[in-house]
């Protein structure tokens, strides 16, 4: 068998000689390159070489800057709100924030923290970045302060905040056209959940009712919700469905040429829950509430200016419109009760005489000026619907009329659950109470007051039965008195007729 032969292997000395020759060649080439080409040209050649020879990445990075010039970047705010809901227990560093006006603590992810998410099976990676940048402000004035460099220029550190989103390039279209719009919608829902509803008091800035206006605000801490309202369940569902339909119809309102607003009229006896319903709507929609007192408005221009000071996604409330001002007709000016009283004392001079027209009010809620805002709800309340001008009642101004009736059996069940924690009252007192409620006009406020008088359920129910019976007797006596007066009036009218004949 013949022996196999192998080529001669290079010796260590030959390898070392080849390496030394190569190193010498590279150094010679580098020296020639530095001497023959200027610095700017060398940099351009090197950058071009790196660009074409750099290995291509399959990843794409989207950057969401905190600021778009000098304005806030809506996408940055939306992404930050969205990512707060994606923080997982494995996170090692978190940021905690809270402003003076917030009632909750915000938990956010910290610098260089990474969050992994997925959309339609596509994995994505989010990274929060904060960088300190040195910025130079012109001006001399040396000094040894830390805010100045050795040239005497004022130097300050600017913080750059941005969020990076990384994913495979082939999913670019889906991420931009589907994932990001979904984040915008989701962040809006999250922000609404944490929003603190505000109650604003709209008033004229000048005592004489000038064109200006000022706003005072407090947090609306009213606990009323649709679950706690003592209303007919079908009516509550109808109101909620109408509100949900309204907020979804932005494009429809735009297409048909209507202002995106909704008008409600709440009418009924005092104590039937009109104010509670307004608070429930505000809490459900997360809309700020603007309370407008017409008696404090001095002119049509003041009314328009106050409208301009309200924000989108808000509720404008005008309570007791039938008694706060007299609304005789379109052409006549509105004269308040204040003016009526002061007219009896001509010697007393006042600096205030509220004068604005009904047409000004109508233009305020349904004219050209009503288009200065979107997604608004206007709510009027009154105890006497029949006293209102028909021009106010038509659709487009008061689209939905809600009758706030006396307490019903279903309403009492809600009150019993809220106040007494009784969800299925079966004893005889419940049956008697419900029978009394069916035949008598009693308001939710009256029954709620009776339910607060004791912590003992038996004492409360017995007291409520006595109250309802007493109210029944009073109403029957009052009715008998009215009947007697009617008989006397009939006799009196008969005598008049006899005398005339």
- Residues 82 and 147 reside in one and the same domain: yes
- Are residues 349 and 381 both part of a single domain? yes
Angle at CA of residue 45, ends 43 and 49, nearest 5° = 115
pLDDT at 372: 72
The alpha carbons of the chain give a radius of gyration, in whole angstroms, of 38
Express each pLDDT in 346-400 by its tens digit: 554 444 444 556 677 777 777 676 667 788 899 999 988 888 878 788 887 888 9
| pLDDT of 431 | 83
Query: Computed from CA positions of residues 23, 25, 28, 34, in that sequence, does the dihedral angle turn out positive or negative?
Result: negative
- Rounded to whole angstroms, the Cα distance separating 286 from 314 reads 8
Are 153 and 229 members of one domain? no
**Quick check: 191 pLDDT over 60?**
yes
What is the model's pLDDT at position 337? 46
Spatial neighbors of 389 by CB under 8 A, at least 6 apart, are 327, 329, 330, 358
Q: Specify if 34 maps to a domain.
A: no
Give tens-digit pLDDT for 410-422: 888 889 888 888 8
Where is pLDDT greater, at 34 or 356?
A: 34
326, part of any domain: yes
Find the CATH number of the domain harbouring 269: 3.40.50.300
* Residue 42 belongs to some domain of the structure: no
Give 241-288 as a 3 state SS string: HHHHHHHCCHHHHHHHCCCCEEEEEEECCCCCCHHHHHHHHHHHHCCE
Residues 472-479 have a mean pLDDT of 76
What's the full length of the chain, in residues? 501
DSSP sequence for 51-119: HHHSPPPSEEEEEEESEETTEE-HHHHHHHHHHHTT--TT-S-EEEE--TT-SS-EEEE-TT-EEEEEE
C-alpha 124/C-alpha 167 separation (Å) is 5
> What does the DSSP assignment read for 384-399?
-GGGS-HHHHSTTTS-
Q: How many domains does the chain have?
A: 3
Confidence at residue 124, expressed as pLDDT on a 0 to 100 scale: 93
Tell me which residue has tokens 């104010």: 275
**Of 403, 431, 464, which residue constitutes the final position of a domain?**
403
Do 244 and 158 share a domain, yes or no?
Answer: no
What angle is formed at CA 56 by the lines to CA 52 and CA 61, rounded to 5 degrees?
120
For position 241, what pLDDT does the model report? 95
Predicted pLDDT of residue 433:
86
- Sorted by sequence, the CB contacts under 8 Å of residue 4 that are 6+ apart come out as none
Same domain membership, residue 372 and residue 235? yes
For 239-250, how does the pLDDT look when each residue is reduced to its tens digit (9 = 90+)?
999 999 999 998
Q: What percent of the chain has pLDDT over 70?
A: 74
Q: Is 338 exposed, middle or buried (0-12, 13-18, 19+ CB in 10 A)?
A: middle
- What lies within 8 Å, CB to CB, of 457 at 6+ separation is 420, 422
Q: How far is Cα 160 from Cα 134, in angstroms, rounded to an integer? A: 11
Nearest to 264 by CA among 285, 255, 107, 193: 285
- Within its chain, how far is the Cα of 498 from the centroid? 69
| 165 pLDDT more than 90 | yes
- pLDDT at 3 (0 to 100): 55
Same domain, 119 and 209: no
What Cα–Cα distance (Å) separates residue 377 from each residue in 262, 301, 323, 397, 404? 5, 21, 22, 10, 18
**361, 334 Cβ separation under 8 angstroms:** yes
Do 387 and 263 reside in the same domain of the chain?
A: yes
| pLDDT of 192 higher than 90 | no
- Residue 295 belongs to a domain: yes
pLDDT of residue 501: 30
Residue 261 vs residue 302, higher pLDDT: 261
pLDDT of 139 higher than 60:
no
Tokens of 368: 């050209």
Q: What is the DSSP letter of 8?
A: P
Q: Of the candidates 164, 194, 224, which is a domain's last residue?
A: 194
Q: What is the pLDDT of residues 91-113, one digit of tens each?
A: 777 778 777 666 677 777 777 77
Whether residue 23 lies inside any domain: the answer is: no
> Would you state the structure tokens that stand for residue 145, as one six-digit string?
């302060």
Tell me what the mean pLDDT of segment 444-456 comes to: 90
- Are 93 and 125 in a shared domain? yes
- pLDDT of 143: 43
Which pLDDT value is given to residue 28?
77
DSSP characters for 117-152? EEETTEEEEEEEEEEEEEEEE------S-TTB-TTS
Tokens encoding 391: 């021009």
Question: What's the maximum distance between 2 C-alpha atoms anywhere in the chain?
Answer: 160
Beta bridge partner(s), residue 154: 137, 148
Flag the least confident range among 15-29, 56-70, 254-268, 286-300.
Answer: 15-29
Lowest mean pLDDT among 21-25, 285-289, 404-408: 21-25
- Domain end (from 194, 215, 232): 194
Whether residue 133 contacts residue 115, with contact meaning beta carbons closer than 8 Å, is answered with no
207 and 153 share a domain?
Answer: no
The residue among 124, 121, 132, 112 whose CA lies nearest residue 82 is: 124
278 within 8 A of 289, measured Cβ to Cβ: yes
Cβ contact 335:295 at 8 Å: no
Q: In which domain, by residue range, is 160 found?
A: 59-194
pLDDT for the residue 130: 81
Q: What is the pLDDT of residue 483?
A: 53
Judgement on whether residues 395 and 275 belong to the same structural domain of the protein:
yes
Write down the pLDDT at residue 164. 92
- Whether residue 303 sits in one domain with residue 234: yes
Q: Kindly state whether residues 202 and 350 are assigned to the same domain.
A: yes
Order across the sheet with 154-168: list the strands: 59-65, 154-168, 122-137, 114-119
How far, in Å, CA of 105 to CA of 98, rounded? 5
Dihedral over alpha carbons 454, 405, 226, 293 (to 10 degrees): -100
pTM above 0.85, yes or no: no
DSSP conformational letter for 471: H
Q: What is the pLDDT of residues 221-231, one digit of tens each?
A: 888 999 999 88
Mean of pLDDT values over 423-446: 80
Q: Is residue 240 part of a domain?
A: yes
Report, as an integer, the average pLDDT of 13-17. Answer: 76
493 pLDDT higher than 50 = no
19 assigned to some structural domain: no
Confidence band (pLDDT; 50, 70, 90) for 56?
low
Categorize the per-residue pLDDT at 134 as very low, low, confident or very high, splitting at 50, 70 and 90.
low
Q: Is residue 32 part of a domain?
A: no
The whole-chain average pLDDT of the chain stands at 76
Give per-residue pLDDT as tens, 117-132: 889 999 999 988 887 7
């Amino acid at each position: 068998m013949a022996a196999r032969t192998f080529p001669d292997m290079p010796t260590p000395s030959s390898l070392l000689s080849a390496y030394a020759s190569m190193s010498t060649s590279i150094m010679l080439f580098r020296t020639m390159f530095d001497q023959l080409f200027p610095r700017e040209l060398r940099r351009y050649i090197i950058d071009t070489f790196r660009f074409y020879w750099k290995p291509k990445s399959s990843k794409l990075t989207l950057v969401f800057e905190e600021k778009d010039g000098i304005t806030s970047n809506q996408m940055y705010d939306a992404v930050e709100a969205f990512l707060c809901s994606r923080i997982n227990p494995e996170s090692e560093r978190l940021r905690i924030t809270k402003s003076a006006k917030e009632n909750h603590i915000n938990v956010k992810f910290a610098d260089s923290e990474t969050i992994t998410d997925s959309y339609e099976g596509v994995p994505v990676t989010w990274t929060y970045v904060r960088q300190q940048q040195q910025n130079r402000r012109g001006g001399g004035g040396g000094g040894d302060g830390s805010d100045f460099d050795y040239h005497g220029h004022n130097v300050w550190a600017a913080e750059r905040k941005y969020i990076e989103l990384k994913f495979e390039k082939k999913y670019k279209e889906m991420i931009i056209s589907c994932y990001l719009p979904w984040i915008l919608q989701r962040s809006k829902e999250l922000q609404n959940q944490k929003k603190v509803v505000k109650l604003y008091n709209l008033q004229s800035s000048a005592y004489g009712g000038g064109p200006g206006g000022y706003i005072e605000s407090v947090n609306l801490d009213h606990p009323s919700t649709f679950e706690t309202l003592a209303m007919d369940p079908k009516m509550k569902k109808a109101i909620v469905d109408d509100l949900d339909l309204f907020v979804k119809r932005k494009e429809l309102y735009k297409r048909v040429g209507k202002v995106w607003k909704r008008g409600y009229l709440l009418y009924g006896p005092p104590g039937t829950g009109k104010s509670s319903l307004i608070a429930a709507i505000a809490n459900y929609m997360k809309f700020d509430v603007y309370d407008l007192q017409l008696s404090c408005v001095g002119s049509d221009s003041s009314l328009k200016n106050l409208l301009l000071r309200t924000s989108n996604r808000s509720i404008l409330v005008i309570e007791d419109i039938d008694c706060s001002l007299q609304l005789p007709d379109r052409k006549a000016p509105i004269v308040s009760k204040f003016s009526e009283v002061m007219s009896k004392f001509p010697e007393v001079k006042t600096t205030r005489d509220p004068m604005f027209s009904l047409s000004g009010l109508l233009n305020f809620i349904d004219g050209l000026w009503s288009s200065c805002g979107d997604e608004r709800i206007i709510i009027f309340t009154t105890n006497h619907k029949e006293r209102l001008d028909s021009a106010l009642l038509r659709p487009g101004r008061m689209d939905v009329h809600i009758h706030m009736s006396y307490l019903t059996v279903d309403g009492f069940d809600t009150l019993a659950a809220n106040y007494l924690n009784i969800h299925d009252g079966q004893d005889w007192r419940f049956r008697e109470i419900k029978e009394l409620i069916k035949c008598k006009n009693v308001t939710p406020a009256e029954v709620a007051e009776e339910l607060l008088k004791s912590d003992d359920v038996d004492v409360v129910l017995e007291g409520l039965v006595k109250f309802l019976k007493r109210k029944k007797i009073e109403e029957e006596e009052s009715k008998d008195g009215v009947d007697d007066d009617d008989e006397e009036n009939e006799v009196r009218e008969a005598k008049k007729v006899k005398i005339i004949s």
